[in-house]
Amino acid sequence: MNTNNALMQRRHNAVPRGVGQIHPIFAERAENCRVWDVEGREYLDFAGGIAVLNTGHLHPGIVSAVEAQLKKLSHTCFQVLAYEPYLALCERMNQKVPGDFAKKTLLVTTGSEAVENAVKIARRSGAIAFSG
């Protein structure tokens, strides 16, 4: 059986110190708002994946949607190999933005990407494109 102490030692040997860890515990499993460590202790998960897990762990609707998607396509970068659900979500997001003007949505995976792109867009006063 793994223990938190044994895993902390492995972590110390395998992971750089620059990668922080707030608590010296290792999650074994989770359900809804509860998490169990490798020693069987139960915790309430107030962090929720750093605030991106507002449905809780293993929400049945999310599990069902992920299973259905994995049976079709597991992952691809839209910029390399586009797929229709990306477009559908962008269209739904665009419809929710108020105002009578053209809307566009960019989906990214991290806050860093979102901020980087927002700064680029905010700095741009105009764009020039050439073709041919």
pLDDT at 56: 86
**Residue 108 domain-assigned (yes or no):** yes
**Residue 130 domain-assigned (yes or no):** no
Number of domains making up the chain: 2
Per residue in 58-81, pLDDT (tens digit) is 999 999 999 999 999 988 888 889
More confident residue, 51 or 120: 120
129: tokens are 């494109």
**Residue 98 domain-assigned (yes or no):** yes
Q: 54 and 104 share a domain?
A: no
**Residue 27 domain-assigned (yes or no):** yes
Per residue in 80-126, pLDDT (tens digit) is 899 999 999 999 999 999 999 999 998 988 888 888 988 888 887 76
The mean pLDDT of the chain is 89
Q: How far is it, in rounded angstroms, from Cα 63 to Cα 69?
A: 10
Q: 26 and 56 share a domain?
A: yes
**Max alpha carbon distance in the chain (Å)?**
64
Q: How far is it, in rounded angstroms, from Cα 119 to Cα 107?
A: 15
Q: 46 and 20 share a domain?
A: yes
**Residue 9 domain-assigned (yes or no):** yes
Domain that holds residue 50: 4-70
More confident residue, 132 or 66: 66
Query: Given pLDDT bands bounded at 50, 70 and 90, which one contains residue 14?
Result: very high
Per residue in 20-47, pLDDT (tens digit) is 999 999 999 999 989 999 999 999 988 8
Q: How far is it, in rounded angstroms, from Cα 19 to Cα 28?
A: 20
pLDDT at 15 over 90: yes
